[in-house]
Structure 1
């Protein structure tokens, strides 16, 4: 008889089972992505407040505030006693960063309102796909990318600096696509780096 391929059931538990990653590291990854999601929503709230209410129109002050919180966060060691305080610093940094993005988002809305949802969905899709690729891949298989990615980032910054004087449309477009590929590579690299650090005992999910 013929076999109907559509009769097969999909085991979603098996789909999201990462047997090569220890249970404690999987729990750590949940916290990492949880703090990432929290920062994303807080930053969105900050940007919304800036765009809609026009409050906190102090670009320099909010910029210095976010920089100060980032420095304070990196200088505060990770421990159970400082966990809540460091999480508060991270949330504050995300909120001020969202406020700083307000004018840029307002400009995008004035040009074409569809830019924002398209950018959000595109970024979320790329992040999800490359994160899952790193999680399913063999451990340490993408860590070698670190040197190449940093070199590519340096070259991209240099070409951007040169283009500030040359003003080449072709170089600007090339930089955009190269930057996209480099950032996708960083998602792979950073995800596996988080796993390796967690496996070696570093459970700092905030920074």
Structure 2
């Protein structure tokens, strides 16, 4: 395999994948390189469902191997919300500040020990003529009572990591990239890559 497409227009995500595949001699491209790539409605009930939908639709259209991810925040006290609706939790415009504000309102009065949560990432690999494979990983923490930190994006300012005494937004980028849900999923993808390319379509 000489080339793989990452089903995103997020340059930060592309850099993460490029670092992984550079050692394999695989060129990484993104949807920015393919204006005719399909815009897929994320109608799945799980992160894995949505990742598969995006990867398979893009792979069919582009006739190339495609990796797609779907990720978000799962909060136990909210029955798993915001879940697959994480990006648009407070509205269709994907506003991080409003999403956080809604989350904190819903957790108002909930004690810290009951504010357990996890970031979840699912990566789907669609290769023409092969079974689609999925790898998944999580990063566990708690929801802080107020935002802290200037780094990261999304829910990072309220995602508290007790073992580090910081929110995800207070971590240096290189520290976050060692422990995040996406970093863990990328590690799994790397470990299983030969099996996936071989067509076994392993799913975890």
TM above 0.5, yes or no, is no
Higher strand proportion (structure 1 or 2)? 2
Which has the larger Rg? Answer: 1
Higher helix proportion (structure 1 or 2)? 1
TM interval, short-chain normalised: under 0.3
Greater relative CO (CA pairs within 8 A, separation 6+): 1
* TM-score normalised by structure 2 residue count: 0.27
* TM-score normalised by structure 1 residue count: 0.27
